[in-house]
Amino acid sequence: MTTGFLAAEGGSSISPSEHVGQFEFLGMTFNGDTMWASTIAAVIVVGAGFYVRSRVTSEVPNKVQMAYEALTGYMIEQVQGRMGRRPAEYLAPLTIALFAFILFCNWLGVIPSGHPEYLRPPTADVNTAYALAVFVFISAWVWGFREQGVGTLRRFVQPYAALAPLNIIEEIAKPISLSLRLFGNILSGTIMIGVIALIPWWGLWIPNAAWKLFDLFIGAIQALIFALLTIMQFFGPAVSEEGH
């Protein structure tokens, strides 16, 4: 049953379970707005990649190239600080891709799309947040077995074998906490935009503009946090015996 968080005098409500274009297929429920917004964000990321590639030069770098190199350098530095130089060559691109995709997903909420919202941030849907966390979780385990084989399981009995049950519970809880952190922060921004939309038109634009600027900042911070926690919580322990 769908229950609204907030209700205005006209009866409109704001609920995380209400989606535009929701449909059933093979007994499963699909959120249409999440699907097309995710597709738009993915197309933007791929298009931005091709654009940056076309602007790369071996001569004096332009502003686009400098911004990308700064982001790449920062991510490589974070991975190297946690895992060393060789893993950084492989994991830095994954971290950058995650950051860029989540960033554009978060920023889609800034674009006005009417009420109900037709362009809702995909990360305001818990299913997207769970999917991202599960992808990172599986990728980290695949990477760990690739690097250390069954030796990657040793971290579950460190520092003492008696702590193995707690370590397993912690490992399962990590993707849940990572996804809910992202979902909760982005959903709260979506709710605030909905609340602001209830203000009469003559007093709407000032709080709406102020919040959307703040939402841009929050979206960038949450994307960066997700990308960095991917390294620290998942890939670091997966390939480092002392990383746990």
Distance CA 13, CA 142 (A): 43
Domain ranges of the chain: 19-55+95-239
Percent of the chain with pLDDT over 90: 18
**Contact, 167 vs 244, CB < 8 A?**
yes
Q: Average per-residue pLDDT in the chain?
A: 80
Question: What pLDDT, on the 0 to 100 scale, is given for residue 61?
Answer: 77
- Which residues on neighbouring strands pair with residue 24, listed in sequence order? 29
pLDDT in tens, 178-228: 899 999 888 887 777 777 777 777 777 777 778 778 888 888 999 999 988
**Contact, 205 vs 112, CB < 8 A?**
no
The reply to whether omega before 159 is within 30° of 0 (cis) is yes
Would you give the distance in Å from CA 29 to the centre of its chain? Answer: 22
pLDDT in tens, 172-181: 898 899 899 9
Distance CA 55, CA 45 (A): 15
**155-162 long-range Cβ contacts below 8 angstroms, 24+ apart:** 155/237, 155/241, 155/243, 155/244, 158/241, 158/244
The C-alpha R_g of the chain, in whole angstroms, comes to 21
Give the count of beta carbons closer than 10 Å to the beta carbon of residue 4.
15
**Contact, 80 vs 88, CB < 8 A?**
yes
pLDDT in tens, 71-106: 888 888 887 777 767 777 778 888 889 999 999 999
Question: What pLDDT, on the 0 to 100 scale, is given for residue 115?
Answer: 59
Indicate the pLDDT class of residue 124, thresholds 50, 70 and 90: confident
Query: How far is the CA of 137 from the CAs of 133, 144, 171, 199, 220, in angstroms?
Result: 6, 11, 9, 42, 22
Q: Is the pLDDT of residue 9 over 50?
A: no
**3-class secondary-structure state, position 228:** helix
